Structure 1
Amino acid sequence: MSEPHSHSHLWPGVPLALGSAALFGATPPLSKLLLNGVNPFMLAGLLYLGAGLGLALYRLLRGRQAAAGEAQLTAGDIPWLALAIGMGGVIAPVLLLFGLTLNTASSS
């Protein structure tokens, strides 16, 4: 007889990833509805403000657990981190929302 497999390594990563994907997929259609009255720059900022507040709440609820096994940031990581933040956190959302002003949400 073999031992039953434990799926504890899937928790909480898989549910969080699925929830994140669902929220990310819901963003274009919901954003398209809001773009009639809100500037794309403002809406991009509000979306990321909401994401930041959600992560802050998660961090507060999680507590100050030590991140065992995570690598620390080094000085060499700063340019790459800044590039990732600039592209994925600033330019991409603004371009997505400007694209939504020109297209339908489903085609975007």
Structure 2
Amino acid sequence: MGGNIYYLSNAIGVDSNDSLFLRSGFSSSYGKLGYNANVSHSNSSESATIGLNYKFDNVNTNLTVTKNDNGTQILGSANGGILFTPHTGAILSNDTSNTLAIINVKRRSRS
């Protein structure tokens, strides 16, 4: 496994209340675990967010905690794909970006 790559972002600007803002954040991953943190500050508001996601074999999970002027928000989610056939039953996948196809191949009997 190679080294981690960290993504950093920074922004300075003016928000809709004509208030100067500063935003900064980073994200990275280690194997199947991803993580990020972001902070934002202006004269009219402040917020901080941390997030974790994990890619299990059959499902992707996410957890985000945000603290801002309105309080603390905790969000969790899970996503993936489910495929069902009479022969296999339910097949779960964490891949949601590709198209899956089921092909039924019947063998011809030799006479």
**TM-score when normalising by structure 1:** 0.21
Rg larger in 1 or in 2? 2
Which structure shows the bigger proportion of residues in helix conformation?
1
Which structure shows the bigger proportion of residues in strand conformation?
2
Name the structure, 1 or 2, with higher relative contact order (CA <8 Å, separation 6+).
1
